[in-house]
Amino acid sequence: MKRTMIALGCCLLMATPVVAQSVGEKTGVNSVLGVAPTTADFVKQVAISDMFEIQSSKLAEQNGNAAEKAFAKEMIADHTKTSGELKSLVSGGKVKAELPTQLDDAHRGKLDKLTSAKGANFSETYIDQQITAHKDAVSLFDRYARGGDNAELKNWAGNTLPALRHHLEMAQNLEKQHSNTTSQSNKSSK
């Protein structure tokens, strides 16, 4: 599978560089190959990721347990901050890109799934989505910080990366807490 993705990525990258990077970013080929996203792709993915983090965490503030609510509060604050910083870079003319104003279909589907989840299923869904989202964000920011084509945005990505790594660690710890709680409640119900 990995070889197929790499081969596909190489073909796409050779075919038409501008389109290939967008397709490569969308399909995950760039991530597998370690290729930096274009500035436009980076801005779009960051903006959508921030919107998703904020919206899903608002749901967690309403429906999560105490640990999830605390995590969600921090996610809302931090991703609101990065959204503002990104908007400032774009509106200030330092970055030439368009900011999306709504979630893409994939993130809308994840949010819909979370909205319909209840109880332990909500917790599992929220935590899984947060881990995946932060793994993706760490990869995206790391690749852009190392190889992006806009110096200002590249610097911002590098400076933001430690916080995203910390978010991923927090989400993984939340998963451990949830697993421990779930296994303890399963033992006590026997």
Compare 189 and 125 and report the one with higher pLDDT.
125
Closest Cα to residue 174, out of 62, 61, 70?
70
Rounded Cα–Cα distance for residues 2 and 126 (Å): 28
Whether residue 27 is predicted with pLDDT greater than 90 in this model: the reply is: no
Measured on CA atoms in the order 99, 131, 107, 12, is the torsion positive or negative? positive
**What is the pTM for the complete model shown?**
0.80
Count of Cβ atoms closer than 10 Å to residue 8 Cβ: 16
| pLDDT value, residue 17 | 38
Q: What is the pLDDT of residue 180?
A: 77
pLDDT of res. 82? 97
pLDDT exceeds 50 at position 167: yes
For residues 8 and 118, which has the higher predicted lDDT (pLDDT)? 118
Neighbour tally for 17: CB within 10 Å: 12
pLDDT of residue 159: 98
Query: What is the pLDDT averaged over residues 10-21?
Result: 39
Higher pLDDT, 6 or 146: 146
Q: Is the pLDDT of residue 5 over 90?
A: no
For the chain, the average pLDDT equals 85
Structure tokens at 130: 């947060």
Q: Which two tokens stand for residue 26?
A: 């969308």
The whole-number pLDDT of residue 19 equals 34
In this predicted structure, the answer to whether residue 190 has a pLDDT above a threshold of 70 is: no
Yes or no: domain 37-188 corresponds to CATH 1.20.1260.10: yes
pLDDT for residue 1 = 46
**Could you report the per-residue pLDDT of 92-128, keeping only the tens digit for each?**
998 999 999 999 999 999 999 999 999 999 999 999 9
User: H/E/C letters for each residue in the chain?
Assistant: CHHHHHHHHHHHHHHCHHHHHHHHHHHCHHHHHCCCCCHHHHHHHHHHHHHHHHHHHHHHHHHCCHHHHHHHHHHHHHHHHHHHHHHHHHHCCCCCCCCCCCCCHHHHHHHHHHHHCCHHHHHHHHHHHHHHHHHHHHHHHHHHHHHCCCHHHHHHHHHHHHHHHHHHHHHHHHHHHHHHHHHHHHHHCC
The encoded tokens of residue 159 equal 């400076």
Q: Which residues contact 12 (CB under 8 A, 6 or more apart)?
A: 19, 20, 23, 24, 29
Q: Which residue has the higher pLDDT, 69 or 23?
A: 69
pLDDT tens digits, one per residue of 117-165: 999 999 999 999 999 999 999 999 999 999 999 999 999 999 999 999 9
Read off the tokens for 162.
């430690």
